Structure 1
Amino acid sequence: MTNVLILGANGKIAKLAETQLLAETDHHLTLFLRRASRLTVADSTRETVIEGDVTDQPQLENAMKGQDIVYANLGNQAIENQAKSVVAAMKATGLKRLIWISTLGIYDEVPGKYGQWNHQMLDGGYLETYAAAAKVIEASDLDYTIIRPAWLSNKDIVSYETTQKSEPFKGTEVSRKSIADLVVSLINKPANSIGQSLGVNQPDTDGDKPSFY
């Protein structure tokens, strides 16, 4: 059994990962979010809910006690400060393994017309803040994996491939269910992809923009 702390536990990907973890593993999940009333607990014997703010480091440190892995499903204008708080709290508590959800384009790694479209859609505060947060994670001494999804769909499909930080991004879209499956696989095999930043896309979705735009 692994103790997993999920930050931003009410996010769409996080909830898919939580469902999969409960169905396929015996892990214990600590669900950390700002408004606990939004979350429905499926198994009270394996889920603990903590209401809190990720930028409150003492609160975060308390939640990290006894945990094995931190999975951060965060995202807003404060994500750089959230990253700093997560790194500091993990350092203070001796936790090492971090799975961090980011976004495509933070390294200007998306080629061609799709890359231009992605900049048009995400420049002006989104890509910049996510890139800054990723730099905080990469500068830490944590055993991190950064996940950079393509544009997200709600398709009921698990189909994905990955690229490394140094490689051009592939594809235009990926399902949230696929990203959740990747997160679960990293939780189950935490030695995999340490120190890597993974671009994630559904195969054969190349184009100038996602199919749903």
Structure 2
Amino acid sequence: MAKKILILGAAGEIARMLTDRLLAESDAELVLYGRNVSQRLALEENSRIKLVDGTFGESEKLEAALAGVDVVYLNSMSSPADTASVVQALEKAGVKRLLGATIAGVEDEVPYELATWTKNSLPASYIKGEYDSAKIVRDSNLDYTLLRLTWLFNDESDREYELVPSGVEFADAEVSRQAITQAILDILNGEESEYVRKSFGLGKPNTHYGKPSFY
């Protein structure tokens, strides 16, 4: 497990779950970065936490937040400009390791029926932003791991997931946020060489539906 982790977009649901579990299950120091996080995150005072209010476009603030950081988790990749700013800050600060959460489909790996349903359910600008952001990360010199997330739901009792590598059809239609949090923790605790400069579809096994079951 890394000694110091920067969570970008720390007020997001998955980011909050990850923060809680890292505090409970590791001794890592956490830098929690995002818009008004000092107001949005109701956290007990903890010497292992540093809160930084900022946007991804504030390059100097981002670079300062990266001091001493081993790993960065990027919770949102819908804005290519923001993703480019994050990548540039990491490269300038000499921080190599990035875990980024994007959406399933950015590698045209999703079966037609599910891909069509997703296309019809999300704004085209949002989908394009995720595609472009994923390419920015892949084209960088970072030791990245991209997680291509399928449709999300909440279930505290469901931590089941699978990682589907690039080049393989990714047909899972859904996955719990709790399972995604578990996957991130497993990656952080795993052998880095298994995940570096790789992209994985992250879904719940045996959910090969034309759309998520909860829609």
Which secondary structure state, in structure 1, belongs to the residue aligned with residue 124 of structure 2? coil
Cα distance in 1 for partners of 2:178, 2:6 equals 19
* Structure 2 residue aligned with 1:80: 80
Which secondary structure state, in structure 1, belongs to the residue aligned with residue 100 of structure 2? strand
Which has the larger displacement, 36-45 or 199-208? 36-45
User: Residue 104 of structure 1 contacts residue 150 of structure 1 at CA under 8 Å; is this kept in 2?
Assistant: yes
Which has the larger displacement, 25-34 or 184-193? 184-193
Cα distance in 2 for partners of 1:148, 1:42 equals 32
Residue 154 of structure 2 corresponds to residue 154 of structure 1: yes
In the superposition, the TM-score normalised over structure 2's length comes to 0.94
* Structure 2 residue aligned with 1:94: 94
* Structure 2 residue aligned with 1:117: 117
* Structure 1 residue aligned with 2:19: 18
In the superposition, the TM-score normalised over structure 1's length comes to 0.95
- Quote the sequence identity (%): 35
Q: 1:190 to 1:64 in 2, by over 3 A?
A: farther
Which 5+ residue runs of structure 2 have no aligned equivalent? none
Q: Aligned partner of 1:129: which letter?
A: G
* Structure 1 residue aligned with 2:61: 59
Which 5+ residue runs of structure 1 have no aligned equivalent? none
CA-atom RMSD, angstroms? 1.3
User: Residue 30 of structure 1 contacts residue 48 of structure 1 at CA under 8 Å; is this kept in 2?
Assistant: yes
* Structure 1 residue aligned with 2:181: 180
Deviation at 1:42, TM superposition (A): 3.5
Provide the aligned length of Structure 1 versus Structure 2: 211
User: Residue 67 of structure 1 contacts residue 95 of structure 1 at CA under 8 Å; is this kept in 2?
Assistant: yes
User: Residue 71 of structure 2 contacts residue 98 of structure 2 at CA under 8 Å; is this kept in 1?
Assistant: yes
Which secondary structure state, in structure 2, belongs to the residue aligned with residue 106 of structure 1? coil
Deviation at 1:163, TM superposition (A): 0.9
Deviation at 1:154, TM superposition (A): 0.6
Cα distance in 2 for partners of 1:171, 1:89 equals 33
